[in-house]
Amino acid sequence: MQRRQLSDNITQYTIGKPLDTGAIILRSDQSADDCDRIPHFSADSDDDNNLRLSKALTDDEAIYGLGEMLGGLNKRGRKYRCYNNDDPNHTPEKQNLYGSHPFMIFDADETFGLFIDYPGEIVIDAGFDRRDTCTIELTKDVHNEVNTNIYIIEGKNKSEIIHNFLTLVGSPFMPPKWAFGYQQSRWSYPTADAVRDICRKFREYDIPCDAVYLDLDYMDDYKVFTTSHERFGDFAAFAKELLADGFHLVPIIDPGVKVEDGYAVYEEGKANNYFCKEYDYEDKKSSGDDFIAAVWPGRTAMPDFMNAQVRQWWADLYKQFCEIGVNSFWNDMNEPALFFTKRGLEDLYTTYDEVRSRTNPGLDFFDLKDKATGLSNNREDYKRFCHDCDGQTVCHDDVHNLYGFNMVRASADGLKRHSHGNRYFLLSRSSYIGSHRYGAVWTGDNQSWWEHIIVHIKMIQSMNMCGFFFVGPDIPGFGCDADAELLVRWLQVGIFTPFLRNHAALFTRSQEPWAFDDEITGIARNAIRFRYAMMPYIYSEYHNCVKFAKPFITPLSFAFSDHRCKSIEDQFMFGHSVMAAPVHSQNARGRSVTLPDCKWLAWRATDYTSREMEVFAPGTYFFDCRLDQFLLFIKEDSLFVMTSPGQNTQTRTDELTVIGLVTHSAEFTCYDDDGTTYQYEHGKYCTLRMKVTAEGSDYSVTCKYNAHDGYKNRIKRINFEIYNGKGELVRKSIKMSGDTPEAPVRR
């Protein structure tokens, strides 16, 4: 084993000759030295030659991280599997979902981070078999070896460890501003008129919205990079019309390419050997034939995204869409999902024949049933194809967790290159550590179950730790029928999630904001408008988090010292000034909230103009909360900034409202840029630094505007609503003349 110090607090341990996964961006020219152990762990090989790391756990040791996993925020007491999986049934016992994020924090007297950069299967037993032991097993590859990089990340506390981890793997991509708006989806809005109708309804009901998604049916026969003329007519004209009306279109692109003679994408891929090849696991050889599986289009070839040339080809396929102004996409089914293969079917047919003819007494109905239900995403199939990793043949199973990552990498590259300097938006279902640098992630096929709201709340916190700040679930659940109350409560969580999209499965009940009754439409409208009112706060905070590599959503126990926070997983910090504490149980009209460490300004909100505010000392309280209300809490000596919402994120107002509870002093810096290009990277942005200082029973307020590189101030007036420790409100209004504020008005 070799050890290399990458920075003061990150050490890399290399076992064998690992493949470069692309997960990390921090390189070092420090030479490596030999070493025989990884700190904190004992390492050995099990009987199968899998690598096993073990660590004793102290009684109150917590384990955090692992990104997209079910279970608690504290991962202790369960088993997890890093092996990307298309599983639409997110029931509590499931060990893996669509992404693999093997970064963990062990939090005891000694707190440290661990990142295992291994693209094959990893099984993590976080105190399940034995309560006092964590074991991490890396499954050997086809050559009977485990080659991997392992990183130990130090820091003086959990937040610093995450920050250091993010310097290793990079900050997430910066989406365009519109992506922070509300997004509407359904499988499917199957025609241009259906989409137009949805857009019209948003305007009619006066509900802000920035994007509408196109699921499978916009394509011609599920052929990727085509559009259906029959259902969408002139697609370019349609996209233009929608954009002009303020709606971004987000079409779906799956990896599977339909096997069909004459279909250009297939023909090109086949002619250039761009598809994954069949692989003989026993002989460790490729047959040279394209590997064919079945996905939505039927027989499908799988692009070999592990190959740089293939990524380049795929990237350029987006050009035709970018040219017509469509540079936002979602990449789905990229675990990759395989409904079945010829091998799997043959096996099923043989079993069927044997059971039917009773020629094999060892087989019965249950074998037949298992064969049928095990057809999809079968592990055997993942062992039966391979990649050409720039000259080296690699069995897919050994790098399984990198497939979605490399699809996203290719897509992002194409979208960036062909967007004429505009920011793209990309959403993916599958991911690996590092794909956050290229796109956002949604958490796949959840259900319209109350149980899944709390799953969502915990998962977005864990994903933020792994670099996936721009993340969210299908609201109010993808599968099953949602009820009105679920829509409301889930939206009231979703407005505090960076990615806010309503998406539903085929054949489920409509769940658009107006799908229930007038009262519910009104409540949904208020929640979504509140989200748009928060846009200056969200955009500023998000930009800072990306710039300074710190999560946007943070668990309470990472931000506060109060020991109770360790047990609180359903409240979280949304940026650095606001804590969300959503009601997530059916029929609940209130909930307990713990307010740690300092005073808090509690806001029981119905809409962005409502002001039911009260100041609380640290403690645990029960807050009533009707269905039309939601709870947010502004931290003492910090500021929260709002504006008036419009019909989408393009609406610009010239007034800001700043709300805070100030006992000493508080600051906030509003950040803004054009929201669409990368010009901000070259200094074209503006900042507005606001400072409120308590002076007896009054406040002094200063605002400093910085328009970098000619970027102009749009804000004409700033209204301050500042509460003191006793909950008394002082209002102040500042007029900005040009780029300088007029003298603050004294009370």
Residues of this chain that interact with ligand GLC (CB under 6 A) are 187, 215-216, 252, 332, 429, 444-445, 503
Q: Considering beta carbons, is residue 125 or 215 the nearer one to ligand GLC?
A: 215
In terms of CB distance, is 158 or 429 closer to ligand GLC? 429
Of 255, 254, 257, 276, the closest CA to residue 265 belongs to: 257
Give the residue at shortest CB distance from ligand GLC. Answer: 187
- For 143, the token pair is 């050559």
- CB of 445 or CB of 570, closer to ligand GLC: 445
Residue 16 or 298 with smaller CB distance to ligand GLC: 298
Q: How far is the CB of 369 from ligand GLC (least distance, A)?
A: 23
Beta carbons within 10 angstroms of residue 611's beta carbon = 12
Contact at 8 Å (CB) between 438 and 465? no
How far is CA 125 from each of CA 61, 177, 635, rounded to the nearest angstrom?
Answer: 14, 40, 37
* 172 in Cβ contact with 199 (< 8 Å): no
For ligand GLC, give the closer residue by CB, 231 or 525: 231
Continuous segment of H or E residues that includes residue 686: strand 686-695
Distance CA 246, CA 450 (A): 33
| Ramachandran angles phi, psi of 695, nearest 5° | -135, 95
Taking the complex as a whole, the smallest distance from the CB of residue 496 to ligand GLC amounts, in Å, to 22
CB of 294 to ligand GLC, least distance (A): 14
Comparison of 38 and 97: residue with beta carbon closer to ligand GLC: 97
Angstrom distance (rounded) from CA 400 to CA 383: 9
Name the minimum Å distance from CB 456 to ligand GLC: 15
Closer Cβ to ligand GLC, 447 or 657, answer by number: 447
SS3 513: coil
Specify which residues 80 forms β-bridges with. 124
The residue (of 252 and 641) whose beta carbon lies closer to ligand GLC is 252
Distance CA 466, CA 163 (A): 10
Q: Where are the beta strands (DSSP E) in 130-220?
A: 133-138, 148-153, 182-184, 211-214
Q: How many CB atoms lie within 10 A of CB 5?
A: 14
DSSP string, 128-139: SSSTTEEEEEEP
> Min. distance of Cβ 411 from ligand GLC in angstroms?
16
92 within 8 A of 452, measured Cβ to Cβ: no
Q: How far is the CB of 215 from ligand GLC (least distance, A)?
A: 5
Q: How far is the CB of 503 from ligand GLC (least distance, A)?
A: 6
- With 0-12 / 13-18 / 19 or more C-beta atoms within 10 angstroms meaning exposed / middle / buried, residue 346 is exposed
State in angstroms the smallest separation of the CB of 279 from ligand GLC: 26
What is the residue type of 91? T
Residues 6+ apart with CB under 8 A from 6: 12, 26, 27, 28, 30, 151, 168
Q: How many residues does the chain have?
A: 747
Residue with smaller CB distance to ligand GLC, 213 or 542: 213
Least distance in angstroms from the C-beta of 516 to ligand GLC? 22
- The distance of closest approach from Cβ of residue 83 to ligand GLC in the complex, given in angstroms and rounded to an integer, is 18
Cα angle for residues 632, 636, 639 (degrees, 5° grid): 70
To 5 degrees, how large is the angle CA 209–CA 195–CA 217? 125
| CA 437 to chain CA centroid, nearest Å | 11
Residue 291 Cβ vs ligand GLC, minimum distance, rounded to whole Å = 21
513 Ramachandran zone, left/alpha/beta (phi>0; psi -120 to 50): alpha
Give the nearer residue to ligand GLC in terms of CB position, either 183 or 419: 183
For residue 623, give the amino acid letter.
F
- Residue number with CB closer to ligand GLC (159 or 508): 508
The nearer residue to ligand GLC, 328 or 649, going by C-beta atoms, is 328
Q: What are phi and psi of 184, to 5 degrees?
A: -115, 135
State which residue, 297 or 434, has the beta carbon closest to ligand GLC. Answer: 297
Residue 600 amino acid letter: W
Residue 330 CB, nearest approach to ligand GLC (Å): 8
Q: Under DSSP, is residue 258 helix (H, G, I), strand (E, B) or coil?
A: strand
Nearer to ligand GLC, 215 or 673 (CB): 215
Instruction: Give the shortest CB-445-to-ligand GLC separation in angstroms.
Output: 5
CB of 252 to ligand GLC, least distance (A): 6
Nearer to ligand GLC, 62 or 252 (CB): 252
Contacts of 233 (CB under 8 A, 6+ apart): 192
Compute the chain's Rg from CA coordinates.
Answer: 26
Of 215 and 304, CB closest to ligand GLC: 215
Instruction: Identify the helix (H) or strand (E) that includes residue 557.
Output: helix 556-559
Q: Output the smallest distance, CB 746 to ligand GLC, in A.
A: 55
The token pair that represents 233 in the structure block: 């007519």
Residue 16 contacts residue 429 (beta carbons within 8 Å): no
> Is the separation of the CB atoms in 408 and 305 below 8 Å?
no
Distance of closest approach, residue 174 Cβ to ligand GLC, in angstroms = 24
CB closer to ligand GLC out of 246 and 477: 477
Report in angstroms how near the CB of residue 333 gets to ligand GLC at its nearest: 6
**Whole-number Cα distances in Å, 714 to 49, 321, 466, 720, 735:** 64, 33, 35, 17, 12
- Token readout for 400 is 């399984």
Minimum gap (Å) between residue 276 Cβ and ligand GLC: 21
Query: Residue 383: CA atoms inside 13 Å, Cβ hemisphere, count?
Result: 15
Of the two residues 179 and 634, which places its CB atom closer to ligand GLC in the complex?
179
**DSSP letters for 13-66:** EEES-----S-------PPPEE-S--TT-EEEE-TT--EEEEEE--TT-EEEE-
The rounded distance, in Å, linking the Cα atoms of 484 and 494 is 15
